[in-house]
Amino acid sequence: MDAPKTMDGHDWSLLILLSVLWGGAYFFAGVAVKELPPLTVVLARVSLAAIALLPLFWYFGHSLPKSFSGWLPFFGMGLLNNVLPFGFIFAGQTQITVGLSSIINAMTPLFTVVVMAAFREERLTAYRIIGVLLGVVGVAVLRGFDGDLNFKQTLGIGLCLVGTLSYGFAALWGRKFLAGVPPVKSATCQLMCSTLVMAVIVSLIDQPWTLTAPSQGAVLSVVALAVFGTALAYIIFFKILVRSGASNAMLVTLLIPVTALILGNVFLEEQIQSKEITGALIIGAGLLFIDGRVINRLTGKHAAAN
Average pLDDT over all residues of the chain: 84
Domain ranges of the chain: 9-107+149-272
Give CA–CA dist 222/243, Å, rounded.
Answer: 30
Q: Is 304's pLDDT higher than 50?
A: no
Give CA–CA dist 180/288, Å, rounded.
Answer: 28
End-to-end CA distance of the chain: 15
pTM given for the model: 0.78
Give the type of residue at 156. Answer: G
The pLDDT, as a whole number, for residue 286 is 79
Residue 41 vs residue 257, higher pLDDT: 41
Report the candidate in 20, 92, 19, 86 with the shortest Cα–Cα distance to residue 287: 19
SS3 assignment, position 82: helix
SS3 assignment, position 173: helix
Give the type of residue at 254. Answer: L
The pLDDT, as a whole number, for residue 246 is 62
For 246-289, write each residue's pLDDT tens digit.
666 666 766 777 777 777 778 777 777 788 788 878 877 877 78
Query: Taking CA 41 as the corner, what is the angle to CA 38 and CA 47, rounded to the nearest 5 degrees?
Result: 140
Percent of the chain with pLDDT over 90: 39
For 161-220, write each residue's pLDDT tens digit.
999 999 989 989 988 898 888 888 998 999 999 999 999 999 999 998 899 999 999 999
For 100-141, write each residue's pLDDT tens digit.
888 788 778 778 888 888 888 877 778 878 887 887 788 778
Give CA–CA dist 269/257, Å, rounded.
Answer: 16
Give CA–CA dist 141/38, Å, rounded.
Answer: 26
SS3 assignment, position 122: strand
Map 108-148 to HEC letters: HHHHHHHHHHHCCCECCCHHHHHHHHHHHHHHHHHHCCCCC
The pLDDT, as a whole number, for residue 257 is 74
CA 31 to chain centre: 18
For 55-84, write each residue's pLDDT tens digit.
999 999 999 999 999 999 999 999 999 999
The pLDDT, as a whole number, for residue 223 is 96
